[in-house]
Chains A and B, each alone.
Chain A
Amino acid sequence: MLNTQDILETIHMIQDENLDIRTITMGISLLDCADSDIDKACDKIYDKICRYAGNLVKTGEDIEAEYGIPIINKRISVTPVAMVAAACPDKNPVKFAHALDRAAKQVGVNFLGGYSALVHKGFGPGDYALIESIPQALAETERVCSSVNVGSTKAGINMDAVAKMGHIVRQCAEMTADNNCFGAAKLVIFCNAPEDNPFMAGAFHGVGEPDCVVNVGVSGPGVVRSALAKAPDANITEVADIVKRTAFKITRMGQLVAQEASHRLCVPFGIVDLSLAPTPAVGDSVAHILEEMGLESCGAHGTTACLALLNDAVKKGGVMASSHVGGLSGAFIPVSEDAGMIDAARCGALSLTKLEAMTAVCSVGLDMIAVPGDTPAEIISAILADEAAIGMVNSKTTAIRLIPAIGKQQGEEMEFGGLFGSSPIMDVNRYSPAKFISRGGRIPAPLQSLKN
Protein backbone atom coordinates (compact mmCIF):
# COMPACT_ATOMS: atom_id res chain seq x y z
CA MET A 1 0.00 0.00 0.00
CA LEU A 2 1.14 3.48 -0.73
CA ASN A 3 2.11 5.76 2.09
CA THR A 4 -0.81 7.95 3.27
CA GLN A 5 1.41 10.98 3.63
CA ASP A 6 2.64 10.61 0.05
CA ILE A 7 -0.88 10.34 -1.33
CA LEU A 8 -2.07 13.40 0.56
CA GLU A 9 1.00 15.32 -0.56
CA THR A 10 0.23 14.63 -4.21
CA ILE A 11 -3.44 15.59 -3.82
CA HIS A 12 -2.40 18.77 -2.03
CA MET A 13 0.07 19.67 -4.79
CA ILE A 14 -2.63 19.39 -7.45
CA GLN A 15 -5.55 20.90 -5.52
CA ASP A 16 -3.88 23.75 -3.69
CA GLU A 17 -0.50 24.40 -5.25
CA ASN A 18 -1.39 24.48 -8.96
CA LEU A 19 0.69 21.49 -9.97
CA ASP A 20 -0.09 20.68 -13.57
CA ILE A 21 1.26 19.45 -16.85
CA ARG A 22 1.57 22.70 -18.75
CA THR A 23 1.57 21.27 -22.23
CA ILE A 24 1.62 18.19 -24.38
CA THR A 25 3.14 19.34 -27.65
CA MET A 26 3.21 17.18 -30.75
CA GLY A 27 6.10 17.96 -33.08
CA ILE A 28 5.34 17.29 -36.74
CA SER A 29 7.83 17.46 -39.60
CA LEU A 30 6.60 19.35 -42.67
CA LEU A 31 9.69 18.67 -44.79
CA ASP A 32 7.75 16.23 -46.99
CA CYS A 33 5.05 18.86 -47.61
CA ALA A 34 7.27 21.17 -49.68
CA ASP A 35 5.91 21.84 -53.17
CA SER A 36 6.64 24.44 -55.83
CA ASP A 37 2.87 25.06 -55.97
CA ILE A 38 2.07 26.90 -52.73
CA ASP A 39 -1.59 25.81 -52.71
CA LYS A 40 -0.60 22.17 -52.98
CA ALA A 41 1.97 22.63 -50.21
CA CYS A 42 -0.69 24.21 -47.97
CA ASP A 43 -3.09 21.33 -48.62
CA LYS A 44 -0.40 18.80 -47.76
CA ILE A 45 0.41 20.64 -44.53
CA TYR A 46 -3.24 20.85 -43.50
CA ASP A 47 -3.81 17.17 -44.25
CA LYS A 48 -0.68 15.99 -42.47
CA ILE A 49 -1.37 17.96 -39.29
CA CYS A 50 -5.01 16.81 -39.19
CA ARG A 51 -3.94 13.21 -39.78
CA TYR A 52 -1.22 13.13 -37.12
CA ALA A 53 -2.80 15.35 -34.47
CA GLY A 54 -6.47 14.45 -34.94
CA ASN A 55 -6.54 12.61 -31.59
CA LEU A 56 -4.11 14.83 -29.69
CA VAL A 57 -6.66 16.89 -27.77
CA LYS A 58 -8.91 13.93 -26.97
CA THR A 59 -5.93 11.85 -25.79
CA GLY A 60 -4.77 14.71 -23.57
CA GLU A 61 -8.23 15.02 -22.06
CA ASP A 62 -8.50 11.26 -21.50
CA ILE A 63 -5.17 11.16 -19.66
CA GLU A 64 -6.19 14.19 -17.64
CA ALA A 65 -9.43 12.51 -16.55
CA GLU A 66 -7.93 9.12 -15.84
CA TYR A 67 -4.86 10.24 -13.96
CA GLY A 68 -6.50 13.20 -12.26
CA ILE A 69 -3.71 15.54 -13.24
CA PRO A 70 -4.60 18.76 -15.07
CA ILE A 71 -3.10 19.05 -18.56
CA ILE A 72 -3.52 22.70 -19.43
CA ASN A 73 -2.54 22.91 -23.09
CA LYS A 74 -2.38 20.61 -26.09
CA ARG A 75 -0.27 22.14 -28.83
CA ILE A 76 1.60 21.47 -32.04
CA SER A 77 5.02 22.49 -33.26
CA VAL A 78 6.07 22.15 -36.90
CA THR A 79 9.22 22.36 -39.00
CA PRO A 80 10.31 26.00 -39.46
CA VAL A 81 7.98 27.08 -42.26
CA ALA A 82 10.77 29.00 -44.02
CA MET A 83 12.24 25.64 -45.08
CA VAL A 84 8.99 24.56 -46.71
CA ALA A 85 8.41 28.02 -48.15
CA ALA A 86 11.81 27.89 -49.85
CA ALA A 87 10.28 25.63 -52.53
CA CYS A 88 7.96 28.42 -53.71
CA PRO A 89 10.16 31.52 -53.43
CA ASP A 90 8.02 34.05 -55.28
CA LYS A 91 4.83 33.51 -53.29
CA ASN A 92 3.73 35.28 -50.08
CA PRO A 93 4.29 32.73 -47.28
CA VAL A 94 1.29 34.08 -45.34
CA LYS A 95 -0.74 31.38 -47.08
CA PHE A 96 1.16 28.85 -44.97
CA ALA A 97 0.15 30.68 -41.80
CA HIS A 98 -3.50 30.48 -42.81
CA ALA A 99 -3.18 26.75 -43.56
CA LEU A 100 -1.56 26.19 -40.16
CA ASP A 101 -4.26 28.24 -38.42
CA ARG A 102 -7.01 26.24 -40.13
CA ALA A 103 -5.32 22.97 -39.12
CA ALA A 104 -4.90 24.15 -35.51
CA LYS A 105 -8.59 25.03 -35.32
CA GLN A 106 -9.61 21.74 -36.94
CA VAL A 107 -7.71 19.60 -34.41
CA GLY A 108 -8.60 21.91 -31.51
CA VAL A 109 -5.15 22.96 -30.25
CA ASN A 110 -4.90 26.47 -28.81
CA PHE A 111 -1.50 27.30 -30.32
CA LEU A 112 0.68 26.01 -33.12
CA GLY A 113 4.33 27.07 -33.30
CA GLY A 114 6.74 26.96 -36.19
CA TYR A 115 6.10 29.96 -38.43
CA SER A 116 9.82 30.26 -38.03
CA ALA A 117 13.17 30.85 -39.67
CA LEU A 118 16.68 29.90 -38.53
CA VAL A 119 19.02 32.64 -39.72
CA HIS A 120 21.84 32.60 -37.16
CA LYS A 121 24.50 32.56 -39.87
CA GLY A 122 22.61 34.13 -42.76
CA PHE A 123 19.39 34.15 -44.76
CA GLY A 124 18.66 31.03 -46.82
CA PRO A 125 16.03 30.82 -49.55
CA GLY A 126 12.62 31.46 -48.04
CA ASP A 127 13.96 32.99 -44.82
CA TYR A 128 13.79 36.65 -45.74
CA ALA A 129 10.30 36.46 -47.26
CA LEU A 130 9.03 34.58 -44.24
CA ILE A 131 10.47 37.07 -41.77
CA GLU A 132 8.94 39.96 -43.73
CA SER A 133 5.56 38.25 -43.63
CA ILE A 134 5.55 37.59 -39.85
CA PRO A 135 3.59 40.76 -38.86
CA GLN A 136 0.85 40.05 -41.41
CA ALA A 137 0.77 36.33 -40.52
CA LEU A 138 0.41 37.00 -36.79
CA ALA A 139 -2.20 39.72 -37.33
CA GLU A 140 -4.35 37.62 -39.66
CA THR A 141 -4.21 34.33 -37.77
CA GLU A 142 -5.29 33.48 -34.26
CA ARG A 143 -3.32 30.43 -33.16
CA VAL A 144 -0.07 30.54 -35.14
CA CYS A 145 3.12 31.44 -33.27
CA SER A 146 6.36 32.55 -34.80
CA SER A 147 10.04 32.44 -33.85
CA VAL A 148 13.33 33.43 -35.41
CA ASN A 149 16.78 32.26 -34.35
CA VAL A 150 19.33 35.03 -34.88
CA GLY A 151 22.41 33.67 -33.14
CA SER A 152 24.18 30.65 -31.72
CA THR A 153 27.34 29.86 -29.78
CA LYS A 154 28.78 28.05 -32.80
CA ALA A 155 27.78 30.60 -35.47
CA GLY A 156 27.84 33.97 -33.74
CA ILE A 157 25.08 36.57 -34.14
CA ASN A 158 23.57 37.63 -37.45
CA MET A 159 23.35 41.39 -36.94
CA ASP A 160 21.46 41.93 -40.21
CA ALA A 161 18.72 39.72 -38.79
CA VAL A 162 18.91 41.51 -35.44
CA ALA A 163 18.41 44.87 -37.18
CA LYS A 164 15.51 43.48 -39.21
CA MET A 165 13.76 41.94 -36.20
CA GLY A 166 13.54 45.28 -34.37
CA HIS A 167 11.29 46.52 -37.19
CA ILE A 168 9.36 43.25 -37.33
CA VAL A 169 8.56 43.36 -33.60
CA ARG A 170 7.27 46.92 -33.99
CA GLN A 171 5.18 46.01 -37.03
CA CYS A 172 3.68 43.02 -35.20
CA ALA A 173 2.56 45.35 -32.43
CA GLU A 174 1.35 48.08 -34.80
CA MET A 175 -0.74 45.72 -36.91
CA THR A 176 -2.48 44.38 -33.79
CA ALA A 177 -2.67 47.70 -31.92
CA ASP A 178 -6.45 47.32 -31.53
CA ASN A 179 -5.93 43.89 -29.91
CA ASN A 180 -3.43 44.79 -27.16
CA CYS A 181 -0.54 44.52 -29.65
CA PHE A 182 -0.97 40.78 -29.24
CA GLY A 183 0.87 39.96 -32.47
CA ALA A 184 4.16 40.76 -30.72
CA ALA A 185 3.31 38.31 -27.91
CA LYS A 186 3.26 35.48 -30.45
CA LEU A 187 6.80 36.19 -31.70
CA VAL A 188 9.96 34.98 -29.95
CA ILE A 189 13.47 35.82 -31.17
CA PHE A 190 16.11 33.37 -30.00
CA CYS A 191 19.80 32.79 -29.66
CA ASN A 192 20.61 29.03 -29.40
CA ALA A 193 16.95 28.03 -29.98
CA PRO A 194 16.27 24.44 -28.85
CA GLU A 195 14.77 22.14 -31.48
CA ASP A 196 12.49 20.26 -29.09
CA ASN A 197 10.94 23.04 -27.02
CA PRO A 198 7.28 22.29 -26.21
CA PHE A 199 6.49 25.78 -24.88
CA MET A 200 4.87 28.55 -26.92
CA ALA A 201 5.41 30.93 -28.51
CA GLY A 202 8.91 29.71 -29.35
CA ALA A 203 8.16 26.06 -30.17
CA PHE A 204 9.22 24.60 -33.50
CA HIS A 205 10.06 21.10 -34.69
CA GLY A 206 13.78 21.01 -35.43
CA VAL A 207 15.29 19.42 -38.53
CA GLY A 208 17.11 16.79 -36.46
CA GLU A 209 13.83 15.53 -35.01
CA PRO A 210 11.89 12.45 -36.18
CA ASP A 211 8.79 12.72 -38.38
CA CYS A 212 6.52 13.06 -35.38
CA VAL A 213 7.24 13.23 -31.66
CA VAL A 214 5.53 14.03 -28.35
CA ASN A 215 7.18 16.46 -25.94
CA VAL A 216 5.80 17.39 -22.54
CA GLY A 217 6.34 20.55 -20.50
CA VAL A 218 5.74 20.37 -16.76
CA SER A 219 5.12 23.21 -14.37
CA GLY A 220 4.72 23.80 -10.67
CA PRO A 221 6.24 26.97 -9.19
CA GLY A 222 3.56 26.87 -6.47
CA VAL A 223 4.70 23.44 -5.32
CA VAL A 224 8.33 24.58 -5.00
CA ARG A 225 7.31 27.70 -3.13
CA SER A 226 5.19 25.90 -0.59
CA ALA A 227 7.90 23.25 -0.05
CA LEU A 228 10.29 26.09 0.79
CA ALA A 229 7.70 27.77 3.00
CA LYS A 230 7.74 24.68 5.21
CA ALA A 231 11.45 25.24 5.91
CA PRO A 232 11.76 28.92 6.82
CA ASP A 233 15.06 28.49 8.67
CA ALA A 234 16.83 26.16 6.25
CA ASN A 235 20.25 27.24 5.03
CA ILE A 236 20.91 27.60 1.31
CA THR A 237 22.31 24.08 0.92
CA GLU A 238 19.06 22.74 2.34
CA VAL A 239 17.03 25.11 0.14
CA ALA A 240 18.74 23.71 -2.96
CA ASP A 241 18.00 20.17 -1.75
CA ILE A 242 14.31 20.95 -1.21
CA VAL A 243 14.03 22.40 -4.72
CA LYS A 244 15.76 19.33 -6.18
CA ARG A 245 13.47 16.91 -4.37
CA THR A 246 10.36 18.83 -5.41
CA ALA A 247 11.51 19.13 -9.03
CA PHE A 248 12.09 15.39 -9.06
CA LYS A 249 8.49 14.70 -8.06
CA ILE A 250 7.06 17.19 -10.53
CA THR A 251 9.12 15.75 -13.35
CA ARG A 252 8.16 12.16 -12.56
CA MET A 253 4.60 13.12 -13.25
CA GLY A 254 5.65 14.74 -16.55
CA GLN A 255 7.52 11.59 -17.52
CA LEU A 256 4.48 9.43 -16.75
CA VAL A 257 2.16 11.63 -18.82
CA ALA A 258 4.68 11.83 -21.67
CA GLN A 259 5.03 8.05 -21.82
CA GLU A 260 1.30 7.51 -21.64
CA ALA A 261 0.61 10.12 -24.34
CA SER A 262 3.32 8.65 -26.54
CA HIS A 263 1.87 5.16 -26.10
CA ARG A 264 -1.73 6.19 -26.80
CA LEU A 265 -0.88 8.34 -29.81
CA CYS A 266 1.58 5.75 -31.19
CA VAL A 267 4.16 8.50 -31.54
CA PRO A 268 7.71 8.39 -30.11
CA PHE A 269 8.33 10.15 -26.81
CA GLY A 270 10.74 13.04 -27.29
CA ILE A 271 11.60 14.91 -24.12
CA VAL A 272 10.24 16.26 -20.88
CA ASP A 273 10.92 19.97 -20.48
CA LEU A 274 11.66 20.58 -16.79
CA SER A 275 10.37 24.09 -16.62
CA LEU A 276 8.88 26.07 -13.80
CA ALA A 277 6.35 27.93 -15.92
CA PRO A 278 4.38 30.51 -13.95
CA THR A 279 0.84 31.74 -14.61
CA PRO A 280 -0.76 34.96 -13.38
CA ALA A 281 -2.79 32.89 -10.86
CA VAL A 282 -2.00 33.46 -7.20
CA GLY A 283 0.32 30.72 -5.95
CA ASP A 284 1.82 29.95 -9.36
CA SER A 285 4.69 32.42 -9.42
CA VAL A 286 8.46 32.00 -9.87
CA ALA A 287 9.03 35.45 -8.33
CA HIS A 288 7.34 34.25 -5.14
CA ILE A 289 9.84 31.37 -4.90
CA LEU A 290 12.69 33.89 -5.00
CA GLU A 291 10.92 35.93 -2.35
CA GLU A 292 10.41 32.79 -0.24
CA MET A 293 14.19 32.35 -0.32
CA GLY A 294 14.47 35.63 1.54
CA LEU A 295 14.15 38.60 -0.79
CA GLU A 296 11.77 41.41 0.12
CA SER A 297 10.80 41.65 -3.53
CA CYS A 298 11.86 39.99 -6.75
CA GLY A 299 14.32 42.39 -8.39
CA ALA A 300 16.20 43.19 -5.18
CA HIS A 301 19.97 42.67 -5.13
CA GLY A 302 20.43 38.93 -4.65
CA THR A 303 17.72 38.02 -7.18
CA THR A 304 20.21 36.76 -9.76
CA ALA A 305 21.89 34.51 -7.17
CA CYS A 306 18.56 33.08 -6.00
CA LEU A 307 17.45 32.48 -9.58
CA ALA A 308 20.75 30.77 -10.45
CA LEU A 309 20.30 28.41 -7.51
CA LEU A 310 16.68 27.72 -8.42
CA ASN A 311 17.37 27.13 -12.10
CA ASP A 312 20.24 24.74 -11.40
CA ALA A 313 18.43 22.80 -8.67
CA VAL A 314 15.34 22.35 -10.87
CA LYS A 315 17.51 20.77 -13.56
CA LYS A 316 19.43 18.57 -11.13
CA GLY A 317 16.23 17.28 -9.57
CA GLY A 318 14.46 16.79 -12.86
CA VAL A 319 17.20 15.12 -14.85
CA MET A 320 17.08 11.92 -12.82
CA ALA A 321 13.30 11.77 -12.97
CA SER A 322 13.05 11.58 -16.74
CA SER A 323 14.68 9.38 -19.34
CA HIS A 324 15.04 12.27 -21.81
CA VAL A 325 15.23 15.89 -20.81
CA GLY A 326 15.31 18.78 -23.26
CA GLY A 327 13.57 21.93 -24.43
CA LEU A 328 14.13 25.01 -22.35
CA SER A 329 14.30 23.28 -18.94
CA GLY A 330 14.67 25.78 -16.13
CA ALA A 331 12.77 28.63 -14.50
CA PHE A 332 10.83 30.98 -16.76
CA ILE A 333 10.63 34.66 -15.87
CA PRO A 334 7.86 36.08 -18.08
CA VAL A 335 6.88 39.38 -16.50
CA SER A 336 3.20 39.59 -17.49
CA GLU A 337 2.54 35.91 -16.74
CA ASP A 338 3.81 35.89 -13.17
CA ALA A 339 1.85 37.56 -10.35
CA GLY A 340 5.01 38.22 -8.33
CA MET A 341 6.89 39.71 -11.30
CA ILE A 342 3.93 41.97 -12.12
CA ASP A 343 3.86 43.31 -8.56
CA ALA A 344 7.64 43.77 -8.49
CA ALA A 345 7.58 45.65 -11.81
CA ARG A 346 4.65 47.81 -10.67
CA CYS A 347 6.32 48.91 -7.45
CA GLY A 348 9.61 49.62 -9.21
CA ALA A 349 11.61 46.82 -7.54
CA LEU A 350 12.14 45.04 -10.85
CA SER A 351 13.70 46.87 -13.78
CA LEU A 352 14.58 45.87 -17.32
CA THR A 353 18.30 45.97 -16.46
CA LYS A 354 17.82 43.56 -13.55
CA LEU A 355 15.74 41.28 -15.77
CA GLU A 356 18.59 41.25 -18.29
CA ALA A 357 21.01 40.11 -15.58
CA MET A 358 18.52 37.43 -14.52
CA THR A 359 18.35 36.07 -18.05
CA ALA A 360 22.02 35.12 -17.82
CA VAL A 361 21.07 32.43 -15.30
CA CYS A 362 17.42 31.60 -16.08
CA SER A 363 16.14 29.27 -18.75
CA VAL A 364 15.15 31.76 -21.43
CA GLY A 365 15.19 35.53 -21.58
CA LEU A 366 13.31 38.81 -21.62
CA ASP A 367 9.86 37.33 -21.84
CA MET A 368 6.47 39.05 -22.09
CA ILE A 369 7.74 42.52 -21.30
CA ALA A 370 5.73 45.55 -22.41
CA VAL A 371 7.84 48.55 -23.46
CA PRO A 372 6.62 52.06 -24.39
CA GLY A 373 4.86 52.26 -27.77
CA ASP A 374 7.29 54.83 -29.12
CA THR A 375 10.37 52.63 -28.52
CA PRO A 376 12.35 52.87 -31.78
CA ALA A 377 13.10 49.70 -33.75
CA GLU A 378 16.85 50.09 -33.23
CA ILE A 379 16.44 50.02 -29.44
CA ILE A 380 14.44 46.79 -29.70
CA SER A 381 17.20 45.39 -31.96
CA ALA A 382 19.85 46.45 -29.46
CA ILE A 383 17.98 44.79 -26.57
CA LEU A 384 17.85 41.68 -28.74
CA ALA A 385 21.58 41.95 -29.51
CA ASP A 386 22.36 42.16 -25.78
CA GLU A 387 20.22 39.12 -25.02
CA ALA A 388 21.67 37.13 -27.91
CA ALA A 389 25.19 38.02 -26.75
CA ILE A 390 24.45 36.68 -23.25
CA GLY A 391 23.18 33.42 -24.77
CA MET A 392 25.99 33.12 -27.28
CA VAL A 393 28.80 33.63 -24.79
CA ASN A 394 27.25 31.47 -22.06
CA SER A 395 26.24 28.62 -24.41
CA LYS A 396 22.62 28.87 -23.34
CA THR A 397 19.28 29.69 -24.87
CA THR A 398 18.21 33.31 -24.59
CA ALA A 399 15.32 35.07 -26.25
CA ILE A 400 13.20 38.17 -26.27
CA ARG A 401 9.45 38.52 -26.46
CA LEU A 402 8.86 42.27 -26.16
CA ILE A 403 5.54 43.97 -26.72
CA PRO A 404 5.77 47.61 -27.80
CA ALA A 405 2.54 49.01 -26.31
CA ILE A 406 1.41 51.15 -29.21
CA GLY A 407 -0.07 54.44 -28.01
CA LYS A 408 0.93 53.83 -24.39
CA GLN A 409 3.69 55.13 -22.17
CA GLN A 410 5.73 53.97 -19.22
CA GLY A 411 3.60 53.57 -16.08
CA GLU A 412 0.48 52.51 -17.99
CA GLU A 413 -0.64 48.86 -18.12
CA MET A 414 -1.17 46.25 -20.81
CA GLU A 415 -3.94 43.67 -20.24
CA PHE A 416 -3.51 40.50 -22.27
CA GLY A 417 -5.89 38.29 -20.29
CA GLY A 418 -5.84 34.57 -19.57
CA LEU A 419 -2.46 32.87 -19.21
CA PHE A 420 -0.77 35.93 -20.72
CA GLY A 421 -1.71 38.14 -17.78
CA SER A 422 -1.05 41.85 -17.57
CA SER A 423 2.05 43.97 -17.42
CA PRO A 424 3.09 47.45 -16.43
CA ILE A 425 4.94 49.14 -19.27
CA MET A 426 8.64 49.18 -18.40
CA ASP A 427 11.02 51.93 -19.34
CA VAL A 428 13.94 51.41 -21.71
CA ASN A 429 17.26 53.24 -21.90
CA ARG A 430 16.73 55.98 -24.53
CA TYR A 431 20.35 56.59 -25.55
CA SER A 432 20.59 55.60 -29.20
CA PRO A 433 22.28 52.40 -30.45
CA ALA A 434 21.22 53.30 -34.04
CA LYS A 435 24.73 53.48 -35.51
CA PHE A 436 25.75 50.11 -34.04
CA ILE A 437 22.59 48.39 -35.28
CA SER A 438 22.81 49.91 -38.79
CA ARG A 439 26.32 48.51 -39.35
CA GLY A 440 25.00 45.00 -40.10
CA GLY A 441 27.32 42.01 -40.53
CA ARG A 442 27.93 39.26 -38.00
CA ILE A 443 29.33 39.06 -34.50
CA PRO A 444 31.91 36.24 -34.76
CA ALA A 445 31.37 33.08 -32.74
CA PRO A 446 33.02 33.32 -29.32
CA LEU A 447 36.08 31.47 -28.14
CA GLN A 448 35.25 28.26 -26.25
CA SER A 449 38.38 28.29 -24.13
CA LEU A 450 40.13 30.89 -21.95
CA LYS A 451 36.83 31.26 -20.07
CA ASN A 452 37.05 34.19 -17.71
Chain B
Amino acid sequence: MRAVITVIGKDMVGILAGVSNICVERKVNIIEVTQSIMQDMFAMIMMVDISGSDVPFATLRDDLTKFGEKNALSVHIMHEDIFNSMHRV
Protein backbone atom coordinates (compact mmCIF):
# COMPACT_ATOMS: atom_id res chain seq x y z
CA MET B 1 0.00 0.00 0.00
CA ARG B 2 1.21 3.49 -0.80
CA ALA B 3 0.79 6.47 1.48
CA VAL B 4 1.50 10.18 1.34
CA ILE B 5 3.47 11.91 4.10
CA THR B 6 3.10 15.67 4.27
CA VAL B 7 5.27 17.94 6.39
CA ILE B 8 4.39 21.60 6.77
CA GLY B 9 6.09 24.12 9.03
CA LYS B 10 8.92 26.58 9.52
CA ASP B 11 12.00 25.65 7.55
CA MET B 12 14.97 24.33 9.55
CA VAL B 13 17.90 21.96 9.23
CA GLY B 14 17.18 18.25 9.19
CA ILE B 15 13.49 17.93 8.32
CA LEU B 16 14.00 15.68 5.31
CA ALA B 17 16.66 13.68 7.17
CA GLY B 18 14.46 13.26 10.24
CA VAL B 19 11.45 11.99 8.32
CA SER B 20 13.61 9.79 6.10
CA ASN B 21 15.22 8.25 9.17
CA ILE B 22 11.85 7.32 10.63
CA CYS B 23 10.98 5.68 7.30
CA VAL B 24 14.25 3.76 7.02
CA GLU B 25 14.10 2.44 10.59
CA ARG B 26 10.66 1.01 9.89
CA LYS B 27 11.48 -0.38 6.44
CA VAL B 28 9.25 2.12 4.67
CA ASN B 29 10.39 2.69 1.08
CA ILE B 30 10.46 6.30 -0.12
CA ILE B 31 9.28 6.50 -3.73
CA GLU B 32 9.19 10.18 -4.46
CA VAL B 33 9.80 13.46 -2.67
CA THR B 34 8.85 17.00 -3.59
CA GLN B 35 9.50 19.97 -1.40
CA SER B 36 9.13 23.69 -1.67
CA ILE B 37 9.78 26.69 0.51
CA MET B 38 7.37 29.55 0.35
CA GLN B 39 8.30 32.57 2.51
CA ASP B 40 9.96 30.57 5.26
CA MET B 41 7.23 27.91 5.21
CA PHE B 42 8.49 24.48 4.36
CA ALA B 43 6.17 22.06 2.58
CA MET B 44 7.33 18.54 1.80
CA ILE B 45 5.31 15.76 0.23
CA MET B 46 6.68 12.26 0.27
CA MET B 47 5.16 9.27 -1.49
CA VAL B 48 6.08 6.08 0.37
CA ASP B 49 5.41 2.37 -0.01
CA ILE B 50 4.55 0.84 3.35
CA SER B 51 3.90 -2.74 2.20
CA GLY B 52 7.31 -3.81 3.58
CA SER B 53 6.98 -1.85 6.82
CA ASP B 54 7.68 -3.80 9.99
CA VAL B 55 5.36 -1.72 12.19
CA PRO B 56 1.58 -1.27 12.01
CA PHE B 57 0.28 1.82 10.20
CA ALA B 58 -0.93 3.38 13.46
CA THR B 59 2.56 3.15 15.01
CA LEU B 60 4.14 4.77 11.97
CA ARG B 61 1.56 7.54 12.14
CA ASP B 62 2.20 8.12 15.84
CA ASP B 63 5.96 8.21 15.34
CA LEU B 64 5.61 10.80 12.58
CA THR B 65 3.21 12.87 14.67
CA LYS B 66 5.66 12.79 17.60
CA PHE B 67 8.48 13.91 15.33
CA GLY B 68 6.24 16.75 14.14
CA GLU B 69 5.33 17.84 17.67
CA LYS B 70 8.96 17.83 18.78
CA ASN B 71 9.97 20.08 15.88
CA ALA B 72 6.87 22.29 15.70
CA LEU B 73 5.90 20.82 12.33
CA SER B 74 2.58 19.55 11.10
CA VAL B 75 3.21 15.99 9.89
CA HIS B 76 0.52 13.72 8.44
CA ILE B 77 0.43 10.37 6.77
CA MET B 78 -2.60 9.34 4.75
CA HIS B 79 -3.52 6.55 2.37
CA GLU B 80 -2.83 7.48 -1.24
CA ASP B 81 -6.38 6.56 -2.27
CA ILE B 82 -7.84 9.55 -0.43
CA PHE B 83 -6.07 11.92 -2.81
CA ASN B 84 -6.67 9.81 -5.88
CA SER B 85 -10.39 9.54 -5.27
CA MET B 86 -10.79 13.19 -4.39
CA HIS B 87 -8.83 14.75 -7.21
CA ARG B 88 -9.12 12.31 -10.10
CA VAL B 89 -12.30 11.46 -11.94
Contacts and interface: CB of A to CB of B under 8 A. Distances in A.
B87 A256 contact: no
A7 B79 CA distance: 11
B76 A68 contact: yes
Best-buried of B4, B6, B80, B86 by chain A (most CB within 10 Å): B86
Contacts of A15: 74, 76
B36 interface: yes
B14 to A, nearest CB: 21
B85 A252 contact: yes
Contacts of B8: 8, 11
B85 A68 contact: no
Contacts of A10: 78, 82-83, 86-87
Contact of B82 (A3, A4, A65, A68): A68
How many chain B residues sit at the interface, stated as a range, is 20 to 34
Contacts of B6: 7-8, 11
Contacts of B67: none
Nearest to B83: A2
Interface in A5-29: 6-11, 15
Best-buried of B6, B80, B82 by chain A (most CB within 10 Å): B82
B36 to A, nearest CB: 7
Contacts of A69: 78, 82
Contact of A252 (B47, B76, B86): B86
A253 interface: yes
Interface string A60-73: 00000111110000
A69 B81 CA distance: 11
A255 B43 contact: no
Given A4-B45, A8-B6, A69-B78, A256 B34 contact: no
Interface in B24-75: 32, 34, 36, 43, 45, 47, 57-58, 61, 74
A68 B77 contact: yes
A72 B32 CA distance: 32
Given A2-B4, A7-B6, A11-B76, A253 B82 contact: yes
A249 interface: yes
A1 B43 contact: no
Contacts of B76: 11, 15, 68
B76 to A, nearest CB: 6
26 contacts: A1-B32, A2-B45, A2-B80, A4-B34, A4-B36, A6-B83, A6-B86, A6-B87, A7-B4, A7-B6, A8-B6, A8-B45, A9-B87, A10-B78, A10-B86, A15-B74, A65-B58, A67-B78, A67-B81, A67-B82, A68-B77, A68-B82, A69-B78, A249-B87, A253-B86, A256-B81
Given A4-B45, A68-B77, 14 more contacts: A1-B32, A2-B84, A3-B87, A4-B34, A8-B45, A10-B87, A11-B6, A65-B58, A66-B57, A67-B79, A68-B76, A68-B78, A253-B85, A256-B82
Interface of A: 1-4, 6-11, 15, 65-69, 249, 252-253, 255-256
